[in-house]
């Protein structure tokens, strides 16, 4: 089991990091960066991504970055995108993910290609439901790729009543 802690830092964003090891290893980092200052964001993001070795396993860094292109154009082109490119992370291009017409939710990948990107408006959120597909292979040179679909959603918009309407865990066994 892989465990790391950034408790020594005062983190300006929220994140959940998951490493899946079966049937193949992949790392997924979900990020929520609240609107506001970017003062420490790059250094903290650099520290977080540095904790995932570039060992050939796919890496996904995705979530609500709250970076409006019109407001942060210089920051994005001069600092943010170059930092992620230094980790061989590629931005997946897709339509706006927010009802105001902005793309606030971003998907970066390393070691795989994302396809079939969609952003679907929701009644319960100002963010759209984002989905995409990736082809993954446990051994790229010897086996056929398996298909995996990942979905990104604004977790802050979920209410307890929405969660209580989900099927019980027993219904999946």
Beta bridge partners of 59: 27, 110
Rounded Cα distance, 111 and 113, in Å: 7
Q: What is the pTM of this model?
A: 0.72
Give 114-163 pLDDT, tens digit per residue.
888 888 888 888 888 888 898 887 654 434 444 445 455 555 666 666 66
3-state SS of 28-47 is EEEEECCCCCCCCHHHHHHH
Domain ranges of the chain: 14-113
Q: Are strands 146-152 and 129-136 parallel, antiparallel or unpaired?
A: antiparallel
CATH class of 14-113: alpha beta
Task: Using alpha carbons, select from 32, 35, 28, 37 the residue that is nearest to residue 14.
Answer: 32
Q: Is the pLDDT of residue 10 over 80?
A: no
State pLDDT tens for residues 65-104: 888 776 667 777 788 889 999 999 998 887 888 887 777 8
- The per-residue b/e assignment along 98-109, b for 16 or more CB within 10 angstroms, e otherwise, is beeebbbbbbbb
Q: Which segments of 49-161 are extended strands (E)?
A: 59-64, 90-91, 105-110, 114-120, 129-136, 146-152
């Amino acid at each position: 089991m892989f465990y790391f802690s950034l408790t020594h830092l005062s983190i300006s964003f929220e994140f959940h990091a998951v490493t899946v090891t079966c049937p193949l290893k992949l790392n997924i980092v979900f990020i929520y960066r609240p609107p506001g200052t970017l003062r420490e964001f790059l250094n903290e993001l650099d520290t977080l991504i540095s904790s995932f070795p570039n060992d050939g396993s796919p890496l996904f860094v995705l979530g609500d970055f709250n970076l409006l292109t019109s407001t942060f154009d210089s920051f994005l082109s001069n600092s943010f995108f170059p930092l992620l490119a230094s980790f061989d992370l590629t931005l997946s291009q897709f339509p706006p993910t927010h009802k105001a017409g902005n793309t606030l939710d971003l998907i970066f990948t390393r070691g795989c290609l994302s396809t079939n990107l969609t952003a679907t408006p929701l009644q319960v959120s100002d963010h759209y439901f984002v989905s995409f597909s990736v082809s993954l292979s446990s051994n790229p040179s010897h086996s056929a790729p398996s298909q995996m679909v990942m979905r990104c959603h604004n977790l802050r918009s979920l209410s307890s009543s929405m969660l209580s309407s989900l099927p019980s865990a027993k219904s999946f066994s």
